[in-house]
Structure formats: structure tokens, C-alpha cells
Amino acid sequence: MTKLITTADELSNLITALLNESAIGIDTESNGFFAYPEHVCLIQVSTSSQNWIIDTLAIEEMDDFGALLAEKSVQKIIHASDNDIRVIDREWNFTVDSIFDTSLAARFCGYQRTGLGSVLEKSIGVVLKKSKKLQRADWGIRPLSKEALDYAVDDVAYLIQLRDRLVEILSELDRNSWIEEEFERLKRIRYVAPPQPDVAFRLMKGSAGLEYQELLILKSIYMFRDIEARNRNVPPFKVLSNEVLLYLSRNPHVDFEKVPGWPRRLSEKFKEKLSYSIRTGFDGEIIANTEFNPAKNRPPEHGKRYGVLLRALKDWRSDQGEKLNLDPSLIWPTNSLIQLAQSRESVESVIMDSDMVRNWQKQQFSDSIRAKIKEVG
């Protein structure tokens, strides 16, 4: 059974009831493919007996829901929680406590495929209905069809049952303490705003290959695209693709209609504004050294020992992962391996004092990794 929550009173009553639950399933739906900036449009919630969909576009005051998220006594079961935690923080500045991430738990169970559909089918035999039409639905449209609501609630309807099965497997593998530490770290996740357009253009794939003048043009048209996207309330890629921006940066005098991937039916006014942005790029201010510095991201030079040791440590991690049927990235953080390979000091501080390395990793693998470092010399 699914109930749609559209008023503050309904939400308040729901939260009062959910605060008595030991665990709830949670998921969110946003409209990032259709709006700019995006917003959370729905929050799906489930218990073992009922499902709810909260219409966040219809309810202004969400503080009651924030109190539920922060309540330690109610476990929040979320699949691949990183994005949900970030968008909730971005939208309302709420903290999510007592998290059980079924995707992460599945990885620690040795699952290779950790999408919700795959994990449900392998763990409890539930096969979700697939719909290409609804996979990227515009969740900002109202009213929502029954088909859309049913599709959305499927993402939470089986989470409690799934959690129970994954806990059984983790117990059999004696990995409960490992996963508990990982879950505790999840609540520290926060939304980080992307760089402003006048800086973000340098992060575009392909921009590193542009000449200085081409970068100036890219900066100008990138900023123009961002303004257009906000005015239209559509994602930037629906105004002009990154590929078009890069082509225009390299070929600023080209006839727009001859640009590969050029969208159809763009107005003359739009073309005039784009042309003006390209000309502005020619006359743009010099990019600060912090923005344009080809050597800035060049990896530091290391001696022969660094490469040999890093390769050996990565091989060690892969071997451990194979023995335990675990993704090697779960065994030991890559950045810590790099630090260990670089370190000219005692490896003890890199291993034992690093916040990157989990306590369970230190307990399980520190002796083994010390032996590998000693072996390489």
C-alpha cells in the first residue's frame, strides 16, 4: 500500500508514526535531467508494512522530516546512499544518522553487481519491473501518474527485507564490524557546491588540450551557456553540449550550422548572443595563473623505488581482494598506498595515524602490508 503525502499536516502525522519504527527505507527522486539547478521532487519512505511518497514540491516546511533523519533510534536503509545524503544536505541542510547502505553492504558480501535490481534479485529473489520511459522521468511534473508513483516506490518497498538478508550474509562472513565503521563514516558526507562557471570550464573533459586563446573563448561561451540554462531552467547540456563548446573554442569563426552536433531550431537571437560571447572570448581578460597552469596538475617526480613499491602494494591489495572475494578498493585506500610508496619516514605513522585507513583495515591488514613493504625493501 502506498500513500502520497502532499501537506505539512500529513507529513507531521507520518513523522510521528515513523519515529516509532526501528528502521525505514528511504530514496529520493530529483529532476536533474530537466531542471537547472535541480531539486529533490520526491522522497520515498517504507516500513515493513507500508510505503509513502512525500511530494517535496508541495510541502514547504520539511523540518519534521529532518528530525526523523537525525534520529539515531531509527535506522535509515538507503541503497547507494552517497547521492541521497548529498542532495538532502544541499536541499535542506539535514544530517542523516544511523544509515544502512544496502549497496555498500552488498559489496562487502562480495557482490560484483551492486545496482538495486541486481542485489534484490540475488539476495531475496525480487525482480523489479524495468521501464526505460521512467528511468529518467521528469519527477517535477505534476500530477504524477500511478505508473510513475509505483515505479518510484519500488526503490524502497523491499529495502528492509533486503537489509535483513544482507545482515545474515555479513554475519556468516564475520564482517559486521567492518560495515558498521563504513556506515558511521557515511553520515559525514556533505554536499559540496560545484565550482562557479568562470572556473568550472577548466574541468570540462577535453579542455586540457586547448591553446590559451581557445581557453579564453571556452570560458566565455561556457559562462554564456550557464546563464542560458538558468534562464530556461534546463540542464546546460540541453542548451549546448560540451562537444559543441569545445568545437567552437577551436573553430570560433565557423558557420554554426556546420558545427557537429549543432542543435536544430535555435533562434537567431540565441545565435547572436553566442557570437557575442565568442567575440568576448577574444577580448577576455588574461586567465589567472591559478586557472591556467599546465604544470599545476603534473604528478610529482618520484624515484624508481616509488614505482616498484606502489605496484607491489597494488598487487598485494588485489591478492587480498581475491582471497576474500572483495573489491580490492575496499581492502585499502589508494591514496594511502600512494603515501606509503612515497614515504621516506616510518610507515607506522602512515598506516596507524591516517584517517583514510579504517580501524577494521588496520586490524585486518596492517601486519600483512608491513610485511609486503619490508619484502620490497
Residue 299 is predicted with a pLDDT of 52
**C-alpha cell, 319:** 591478492
CATH architecture of 197-282: Orthogonal Bundle (1.10)
pLDDT tens per residue across span 274-293: 999 999 999 876 555 445 45
Matching residue, cell 588496520: 362
Using only C-alpha atoms, the chain has a radius of gyration, in whole angstroms, of 25
pLDDT tens per residue across span 55-92: 999 999 999 999 999 999 999 999 999 999 999 999 99
Q: In angstroms, how far is CA 312 from the centroid of its own chain?
A: 30
The residues of the chain that CATH labels 1.10.150.80 are: 197-282
The kind and range of the H/E element at 26 are strand 23-30
Q: How many CB atoms lie within 10 A of CB 350?
A: 21
Q: In angstroms, how far is CA 65 from the centroid of its own chain?
A: 22
Write out the chain's pLDDT in tens, 377 residues: 789 999 999 999 999 999 999 999 999 999 999 999 999 999 999 999 999 999 999 999 999 999 999 999 999 999 999 999 999 999 999 999 999 999 999 999 999 999 999 999 999 999 998 888 898 899 999 999 999 999 999 999 999 999 999 999 999 999 999 999 999 999 999 999 999 999 999 999 999 999 999 999 999 999 999 999 999 999 999 999 999 999 999 999 999 999 999 998 899 999 999 999 999 999 876 555 445 454 555 455 567 888 999 999 999 999 999 999 999 999 999 999 999 998 766 778 888 888 899 999 999 999 999 999 989 87
What secondary structure does DSSP assign to 220-283, as a single string?
Answer: HHHHHHHHHHHHHTS-GGGTS-HHHHHHHHH-TTS-GGGSTTPPSS--HHHHHHHHHHHHHHHT
- CB-based contacts of 224, cutoff 8 Å, min separation 6: 273, 274, 277
d(CA 196, CA 264): 28
The residues of the chain that CATH labels 3.30.420.10 are: 2-186
Task: Single out the residue of 337, 342, 336, 332 nearest to residue 299, CA to CA.
Answer: 342
Q: Do 56 and 41 form a contact (C-beta atoms < 8 A)?
A: yes
Torsion of CA 189, 194, 199, 202, to 10 degrees: 80
How far apart, in Å, are the Cα atoms of 10 and each of 7, 66, 324?
A: 5, 15, 47
How far apart, in Å, are the Cα atoms of 196 and each of 193, 219, 223, 366?
A: 9, 11, 9, 41
CATH number 1.10.150 is the correct assignment for the domain at 304-376:
yes
Q: Diameter of the chain by CA atoms?
A: 69
Domain 2-186 CATH class label: alpha beta
Task: Single out the residue of 289, 203, 288 nearest to residue 246, CA to CA.
Answer: 203
